[in-house]
A and B are shown apart, each in its own frame.
Chain A
Amino acid sequence: MLSLLFKNFIRSKGTKIGLLFLLCIGFISLLIGKQFKDKQQNSIQETAVYQKEHIARNAAFHKDEIGLLLYYIKFSLVNNTLPINSLAIGQRDVNPSIQSVTIRSLEGQKYDSELNNQNNLLAGNIDFSFVLIYLFPLLIIAFSYNLISEEKESGTWKIVATQSQNTLKYILQLFYVRILSLIVLLTILLFSAVLFLNIPLDESFFLFYGLSILYILFWFAICFFFVSLQKHSNFNAVILLTIWLFLIIILPAAINAYVVNQYKVPEALELTIKQRNAYHEKWDTDKNETMEKFYKHYPQFRTYKLDEKAEFTWLWYYAMQQMGDDESAVLSRELESKLQQRNLASQRITQFIPTLHTQLQLNEIAHSDLGNQLLFLKETTKFHEKLRLHFYPKIFDNAPVDQQNWEKFKVETFRDSSENSLAKAFLPLVLFILLLIGFGWRNFNRKAI
């Protein structure tokens, strides 16, 4: 029986076209993911080469003044890109994955944006997560909206009903065939991705895979529920598409607008002005005042005294630069906590919206979410501070440039070590699925099929 149902399903021209279309666009998404990954990797390699050349060239030029040299040279920190990121690019296209900073004020450099064509950002990537979240449901709807209803409309249902002892079992078998073929398709795509993109078969991959399967089951559960209402095919098509529209376009947009309005970030622009003024005005204020503030922040440097006679010293200069960060620190922390709140609020709300939940979870697994970006920014601050603490005494002593081991300063990498929780990822979807199947089951049992 099952094999006949399968043959019947797969023989239909629509089914073949649908599956083929999804397979093709799935492979295209892998190509796009690969291109993104290659670009990232090239950037990282280029950065490594560039940093080496850049430091060597500047060290040769400004060999007498380490203070001046460090005005120019930039050090890079890379946000490690997991291979699985090619499947869920997330926000990695908007946010830069490489931060290059000098040891001057950080706040003026930290938020430098990535080079981008805004048209691409608006349209969005066709990565695997898009295919899964947008397109799989459409095919699921196309495969199931007319189950039973079409046979009823064409009058063949009575024949089926009289010939099979258990009509519910028959319906389940119809679903089983469809679920199986889509999960096979998903598996083919994901395992091709493993080979093509060198994705390790680790915990995050299986989490990704599990989440994708649950997401597909969720949409089948929705269809199951609406089939159980036993309405007209046209009604089913309209209502299922409307639900799709809601879950994919309207609710996400509404929630996003809510979160953005709830946690506005005027601090960002204020911060950028503040850090500029805090540094620049020190040129015209009392030097000793600036130095006192600097010593307060770094008591260990109190032994370096300002040369009263010199009009300009690097000690004073970097103390001024430090003030750019110190005096905007409050705003910077506020901005960070606002963004943190945004992230938490959206995570809380999206638990109830399976589409959004899946997208955010996939991004989290792939380290391409806002949370990862915030961690990266935090790490940039640490990286910058480490450089400062290393170079400050050297500058204040005017240590000879050629005696520094510049080779040591290679591009560093930040690895996000946050763990993904299985329960947090799976539970909301499982609950939705059970609920929908439960209600669908009740409907079938209540009303004669």
Chain B
Amino acid sequence: MKILKSELLIAKHLRQSVFKNSALYFISFFIGILLLYATFSGWQNYRTQNETSEKYQHESREDWLKNPDKNPHRMAHYGNFAFRKSTPLSVFEFGMEPFFGNAIFLEAHKQNTANFSEAGFSNSMLRFGEISIAMVLQVLLPLLIFFIGFNSIAYERENGTLKILLTQGINWKQLLFGKIFGIASVIMLLFIPTIIVLVLVWLFLQDFTITADETVKMILFILFHLAYLLFFCVIAVLISAVSKTSKKALITLIGIWLLFTIILPRTTQAIGAYIYEAPSKIQFNSDIEKDILKQGDSHNPNDPHYKAIKDSLLRAYKVDSVQKLPFNYSGFIMTEGEKISSRIYNEHLAELLQIYKKQNSFSKTVSFLNPYIAIKNLSMGLSNTDYESYVDFQKQAEDYRYKMAQKMNALQIKYISNTKSDKPKIIGKEHWADVEDFHYEPKPIGTVLKNEIISIISIILWISMLFILIRIASKKLKAI
């Protein structure tokens, strides 16, 4: 305890001098308002998003079940919708949500796009960013830390008080840690209340019945942000310590902040997108169509692929026409067609996603140079608002679509008469309930951590590097 005493004294002193500055009260008050506003709008977004999604998902399900007796293939075209839902943590981190499509129409033969994103209905104002708790924590608080911290040592140097401090038996390490504690304690006055509100809102949103998975995500969300903020406290003090004047320290810190939060994120992503060019929609779709045609066209009676299937079926069942087969032939062909077209679509999609992944890998790698990108990726992953989550949502919707279409084809094969008859070719409505409703399951924590391993490693590396830097600095720094 005795060693820590001087650190705490320095910290206390810094805190007192910060509180003497009336501008700080103003800024803190303002950030407080922003945080409240962010919580409120996050809450609103989350509620609207999930209420509308649930409402229409339910409506769509009811409509599906209400269908009268009919041909299963009609039902496959009737289809269902996948509406996107948010996870509780997305109240604090909006991530890419405004750019996500909110509804996918799921029908036979066709993979539809996810439509109705917020961005599609907005003008470019949205592109300036959004105010969320995560944004305040990740962008504004670091700047506040820099504004508080740029003076911490450089000013003492300018004033000549630094020499006095050092001659009084305090060493550099104590001084650096003391200043870091001081700034951190000021920031905690904003951070801790925010976290308390955050946890309460989060509990409330889930009616106090929380899952282990969500809890782990929440705890990690808090811990990583804490590490991130402390990290900026360290940078502020280190830069202040190596700068000759406080003005130089301020300008350097502002430069770092701009580079980390504004310039690098955009530039690195843009470079990735520039180097790995993605195909246009028309190209993507026509490539798929070409490949499907190559495999065979189920609508063409002379197509070799489908003719081969037909011939082998006729041989196996020892009949001379498809009408005499013991099951519904066109249902069988459609099953085959759906299988082929889905496989081809998925192959092309995998290729496209691979290109996107390469585009993103650029900025992911840069998280080693930029802790902001690391924390941003991590918090988006935890709150299920990152790119991977969206891909995951689309994938789950596609799986559902495929199963639904094939289930309807199976019903057709089994129940629909194969011969030409006057009887309407329909089956009973009780079969509709055989297809379950679409239910989206967010990624579990394990997958999130695996996806974001680069960000985690980079944050750990950053923390250890700063410790090393403090050690080096405390040996090499001079008072003048």
Contacts and interface: CB of A to CB of B under 8 A. Distances in A.
- Do A and B assemble together? yes
Interface of A: 25, 28, 31-32, 35, 39, 42-43, 46-47, 50, 54, 61, 90-91, 94-96, 98, 100, 108, 111-126, 130, 134-135, 138, 146, 153, 233-234, 237-238, 241, 245, 248-250, 252-257, 259-261, 264-266, 268-270, 272-273, 276-277, 280, 283-284, 339, 342-343, 346, 350, 356, 359-360, 363, 368-371, 373
Contacts of A260: 118, 122, 126
Interface in B451-475: none
Contacts of B81: 272-273
Contact of B123 (A35, A54, A125, A370): A370
Given A245-B143, A256-B122, A113 B117 contact: yes
B283 A46 contact: yes
Interface in B416-436: none
Given A252-B129, A350-B125, A269 B116 contact: yes
Given A234-B250, A248-B128, A268-B103, 20 more contacts: A39-B277, A43-B280, A46-B283, A50-B282, A54-B286, A91-B120, A94-B120, A113-B117, A117-B273, A120-B359, A121-B96, A122-B269, A124-B127, A256-B128, A259-B122, A269-B83, A276-B105, A339-B121, A342-B122, A342-B123
A286 to B, nearest CB: 13
Interface stretch (B52-60, B229-237, B321-329, B406-414): B52-60
Interface of B: 34, 37, 41, 44, 48, 52, 56, 59-60, 63, 67-68, 70, 74, 77-79, 81, 83, 95-96, 99-103, 105, 112-131, 135, 139-140, 143, 147, 150, 246-247, 250-251, 254, 258, 262-263, 265-267, 269-270, 273-274, 277-284, 286, 289, 297, 299-300, 352, 356, 359-360, 363, 387, 390
A150 B140 CA distance: 27
A272 B116 contact: yes
Contact of B116 (A91, A111, A371): A111
A419 to B, nearest CB: 18
Contact of A346 (B102, B119, B125, B266): B125
A292 B359 CA distance: 54
A108 to B, nearest CB: 7
B128 A115 contact: no
The CB with the most chain A CB atoms within 10 A, among B74, B112, B128, is that of: B128
Among B48, B81, B99, B258: residue with most chain A CB under 10 A: B99
27 contacts: A25-B267, A39-B280, A43-B280, A91-B119, A91-B120, A91-B122, A111-B120, A113-B115, A115-B279, A119-B363, A126-B270, A135-B263, A234-B247, A237-B251, A253-B135, A260-B122, A266-B52, A268-B102, A268-B121, A272-B116, A273-B60, A280-B77, A356-B128, A360-B123, A360-B124, A363-B123, A369-B124
A321 B469 CA distance: 69
B387 A118 contact: yes
Contact of B131 (A90, A125, A253, A272): A253
A98 B122 contact: no
Nearest to A95: B120
B31 to A, nearest CB: 10
A270 B44 CA distance: 19
For A119, A237, A257, A343, the residue with the greatest tally of chain B CB atoms inside 10 Å of its CB is A119
> Which of A31, A94, A238, A255 has most B Cβ within 10 Å?
A94
Contacts of A253: 128-131, 135
Contacts of B267: 25, 126
Contacts of B352: 115
Given A122-B99, A234-B250, A272-B81, A113 B114 contact: yes
Contact of B278 (A117, A241, A360): A117
B44 A98 contact: no
A96 B281 contact: yes
Contacts of A273: 56, 59-60, 63, 81
B359 A119 contact: yes
Nearest to A21: B263
A369 B52 CA distance: 27
Given A96-B281, A272-B115, A117 B128 contact: no
Given A61-B299, A257-B131, A115 B280 contact: yes
A100 B128 CA distance: 30
A42 B139 CA distance: 38
Nearest to A45: B282
Contact of B281 (A43, A134, A146): A43
Contacts of A252: 125, 128-129
Contacts of B277: 35, 39
A370 B265 contact: no
A373 B79 CA distance: 29
A259 B128 CA distance: 14
Given A117-B387, A122-B96, A241-B254, A264 B48 contact: yes
A321 to B, nearest CB: 12
A20 to B, nearest CB: 15
Contacts of B273: 117, 120
Contacts of B41: 257, 261
Of B34, B48, B102, B123, chain A has the most CB atoms within 10 Å of the CB of B123
A395 B52 CA distance: 39
Contacts of A124: 127, 266
B123 A91 contact: yes
